[in-house]
Amino acid sequence: MKGCVIDKTESMEDSIKAAGLTYPVVVKAQVQIGGRGKAGGIQFADTPAEAAEHCKKLLHSELRGFTVNQLFIVEKANPVKEWYLSIMLDRLSKCPLLIFSPMGGMDIEQTAKTDPDKVAKCPIDPIRGVQSYTIDYVMDVTGADKAYRAQLFDLVKKLYDAFFGYNTMLIEINPLAINATGDLIALDGKIEIDDNAVQIGKLPDIAEFRDRLQEDPRVKDARQYGFHFIPIDENGTVGIMSNGSGMMMSCLDLIVKRGMTVGEGLDQGGGAIREKLEKGVGIMFRNPSIKVLLVYIFGGITRCDEVVAGIQMALEKLPANKKVVIRIEGTNKEAAMEMIRSMGDRVVAVNNVPEAVEAIWALHN
């Protein structure tokens, strides 16, 4: 489908003409969320005046917490019918899972509840790939019109190639429309890509695109040091820094049960040196609401003394009211504990998670 992207209202009409679009058109807010239509992020215009009005209203507005910096304008399609199509990583079957319904559109979630027989799910063998019987099955189960079988088969194969080619967790077309001439066309879609594939440099084009997206600046800053920063609650007063997401989640649950709010987390992975860890601690305390940082590290590749040295370097640059509770185990622990003892009351060492929670509570209050 023909379309154009604009980032200022003044260029709208020129961009529409350059793209060769004819009215009516659809104005779509370009933000990384689902449910844009229900949120008012997709508008229809029959005339240039209506398009200009929608662009003025949407551009630079906020949509579910995201600022709309770009709009995508396309010719309006007139679908005869709307379908749903996606492939997702199914952890239960450990295979790509094809999901298809001849009742697509904005209410696909409701369809799954009210008409579950109209939603077909079929695991795809990664060795065999998409086979003709895969398409026969999902169409037979849902009662979809077999006149579109060949088109659907071709589309699913392309979707499957993109699923693996871009290391996706989910690739979705909703709605997949049938137009008046009997062609299947993708009216909207969504892709979720495995962060790890981007992080290790497998997808440089996606990394470049990601860096242009709206993100918390702390997420971007952490990424350049190989860390994964997770904003949780901007008003939270406790931060958690660990070298494992499982440890982080177990600590978070107990901290919340104790009546405190976790504002953010940072997974520093393994092998970080003191200079990088200093940056990580600095990022965690960038939010002025954070009073106490829990550092929970099992040092294997990461040496315990390097962790403590990084904390010490960071605290020297931070206000005296910023406190750290540390639970550390592993390589060079003895040297690390000796360093902690020399750092005064700004750093409290504990032996387990319950002790850590109580120490945070004491410092917090």
Domain map (residue ranges) of the chain: 3-75, 81-194, 217-364
CATH 3.30.1490.20 applies to domain 3-75 = yes
Q: Identify whether the C-beta of residue 237 lies closer than 8 Å to the C-beta of residue 278.
A: no
pLDDT at 281: 94
Mean pLDDT of 92-119: 87
Instruction: State residue 272's pLDDT score.
Output: 73
Give the pLDDT confidence score for residue 63 in this predicted structure. Answer: 85
Rounded Cα gap, residues 53 and 50, in angstroms = 5
pLDDT at 244 over 90: no
- Span 50-103, pLDDT tens digits: 999 999 999 989 888 788 999 999 999 888 999 999 999 998 889 999 999 998
| β-pair type (238-242, 189-193) | unpaired
* Eight-class DSSP state of 173: E
What confidence score (pLDDT) does residue 214 get?
A: 65
Q: Identify the helix (H) or strand (E) that includes residue 278.
A: helix 274-284
Where do we find the tokens 């850590």? 356
Beta bridge partners of 238: 262, 292
Query: Which region holds residue 208: left if phi is over 0, alpha if psi is between -120 and 50, else beta?
Result: alpha
Same fold yes or no, 3-75 and 217-364: no
pLDDT for 16 beyond 90: yes
pLDDT of residue 65: 77
Query: Which of 5-9, 112-116, 131-135, 234-238 comes out lowest in average pLDDT?
Result: 112-116
Tokens of 364: 């917090």
Angle (nearest 5°) at CA 41 between 38 and 45: 105
Task: Name residues whose C-beta falls within 8 Å of residue 95's C-beta, 6 or more positions apart in sequence.
Answer: 123, 124, 125, 126
Do 318 and 293 contact (CB within 8 A), yes or no?
Answer: no
pLDDT of residue 359: 94
Residue pLDDT, tens place only, 252-262? 999 999 999 99
Angle at 167 between CA 165 and CA 173, to 5 degrees: 80
Residue 298 pLDDT > 90, yes or no? no
What CATH number belongs to 217-364? 3.40.50.261
Look at residue 315 in the predicted model and tell me its pLDDT. Answer: 94
173 — phi, psi (to 5°)?
-120, 115
Q: What span, in angstroms and rounded, lies between the C-alpha atoms of 134 and 226?
A: 40
For residue 1, pLDDT over 70 is answered with no
Q: What is the pLDDT of residue 18?
A: 93
Is the model's pLDDT at 126 over the cut of 80? yes
Cβ–Cβ contacts within 10 Å for residue 205, how many? Answer: 9
Which residue's structure tokens are 């032996």?
351
For 81-194, CATH number out of 3.40.50.11310, 3.40.50.10260, 3.30.470.20, 3.90.280.10 equals: 3.30.470.20
Provide, rounded to the nearest whole percent, the portion of the chain with pLDDT above 70.
Answer: 99
- pLDDT, one tens digit per residue, over 185-233 is 998 888 999 888 887 788 888 888 777 776 778 988 888 888 889 999 9
Q: 0.85 exceeded by the pTM?
A: no
> Does residue 236 contact residue 261 with C-beta atoms inside 8 Å?
yes
